[in-house]
């Protein structure tokens, strides 16, 4: 294998550029050419493919987002679209494809491989951290640090005005961001899709805090649970406490990737190149138990990652 393609797809995640950088430089070190595919699977169908040199990825390891750009492609979900993508790879002389992204990216790679036999490697990058086959996805650590930084700032105003704030965070249908940031940020309550919650119990916890002299409260809500404004309104009606809602939104995705995400992305990107050169046909890279490993793409998609229930219970204990 002498020519490798790399793309980023789906939602951007801090650390994607570090992964691209590692793939390009590791590939060139191993004697390969590395070509970048712009705008994910959409750019692959359109043939928007450019050669990447050592200098192409200079001064990128600290940058958020993705220099290759990203998009979601409805056309790639069709057989005709995937046939055109295969033709684009053939015209460019690319012999193996590395896709950096989350569940949608992995599903696209797996379907593409099944239909064409083309060698594909998935590198997990999603702030939601909801992809199987890895303990941590690229971007998750940066996202939770962004959330904790926001909670710290919100807490200043919450204390000054003696208010309750309901902070909604991303995560799709999972609560990994909410639990990690809520525990680190000292939230009084953390509402996750994985565990049913009783709004009356949340309100009682708030009132207990008021009775012991607590002047403010922070409640972290995963977006898969419901609307922060609706929950804030319900709390206000039940308790009479001045309650504000904040939806952090896409601020969670941006900014300079943390040291952890830069290192994780660099190691995973390099391993993806090694797997292609070793003859792997459809693998997913992952960090499991502190070691970089790989598994079949289908296994990564089939595995349901579970929330740490012990950490959830600990957060409740520490918020008493």
**Residues annotated in the binding site for ATP, as ranges?**
11, 72-73, 102-105
CA atoms of 121 and 117, how far apart (whole Å) = 12
Scanning 39-139, the segments in alpha helix (DSSP H) are 40-46, 79-92, 103-116
- The distance in angstroms from the start CA to the end CA of the chain is 58
33's enclosing H/E stretch is strand 33-37
Cβ atoms of 166 and 235 closer than 8 Å: yes
Distance CA 93, CA 49 (A): 11
Find the catalytic residue in 12, 59, 128, 130.
128
Q: Provide the annotated binding site.
A: 11, 21-25, 72-73, 102-105, 126-128, 155, 163, 170-172, 186-188, 212, 214-216, 223, 244, 250-253
Q: Are 247 and 168 in contact (CB under 8 A)?
A: yes
Dihedral angle over CA of 258, 18, 307, 153, nearest 10: 30
Residue 128 annotated to the active site: yes
Q: How far apart are CA 220 and CA 237, in angstroms?
A: 19
Q: What is the DSSP string of 242-257?
A: -EEEEE-GGGGT-SPP
- DSSP-derived secondary structure letter, 75: G
- Of 13, 282, 37, 239, give the one whose Cα is nearest residue 141: 13
150 near 251, Cβ under 8 Å?
Answer: yes
Query: Mind telling me the catalytic residues?
Result: 128
């Amino acid at each position: 294998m002498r020519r490798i393609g790399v793309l980023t797809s789906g939602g951007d995640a801090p650390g994607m550029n570090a992964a691209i950088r590692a793939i390009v430089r590791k590939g060139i070190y191993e004697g390969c050419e590395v070509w970048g595919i712009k705008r994910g699977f959409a750019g692959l169908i359109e043939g928007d493919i450019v050669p990447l040199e050592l200098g192409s990825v200079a001064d990128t390891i600290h940058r958020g987002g993705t220099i290759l750009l990203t998009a979601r492609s409805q056309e790639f979900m069709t057989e005709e679209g995937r046939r055109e993508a295969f033709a684009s790879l053939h015209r460019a002389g690319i012999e193996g494809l590395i896709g950096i992204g989350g569940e949608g990216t992995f599903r696209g790679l797996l379907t593409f491989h099944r239909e064409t036999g083309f060698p594909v490697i998935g590198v997990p990058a999603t702030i939601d951290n909801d992809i199987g086959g890895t303990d941590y996805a690229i971007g998750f650590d940066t996202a939770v640090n962004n959330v904790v930084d926001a909670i710290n700032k919100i807490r200043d105003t919450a204390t000054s005005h003696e208010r309750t704030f309901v902070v909604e965070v991303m995560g799709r249908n999972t609560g990994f961001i909410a639990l990690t940031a809520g525990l680190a940020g000292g939230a009084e309550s953390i509402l996750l899709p994985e565990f049913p919650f009783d709004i009356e119990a949340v309100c009682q916890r708030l009132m207990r805090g008021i009775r012991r002299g607590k002047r403010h409260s922070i409640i972290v809500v995963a977006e898969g649970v419901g609307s922060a404004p609706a929950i804030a309104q319900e709390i206000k009606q039940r308790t009479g406490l001045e309650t504000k809602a904040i939806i952090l939104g896409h601020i969670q995705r941006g900014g300079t990737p943390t040291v952890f995400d830069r290192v994780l992305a660099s190691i995973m990107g390099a391993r993806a190149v090694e797997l292609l050169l070793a003859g792997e046909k459809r693998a997913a890279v992952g960090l499991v138990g502190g070691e970089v490993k790989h598994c079949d793409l289908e296994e990564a998609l089939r595995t349901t990652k579970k929330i740490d229930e012990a950490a959830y219970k600990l957060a409740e204990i520490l918020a008493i």
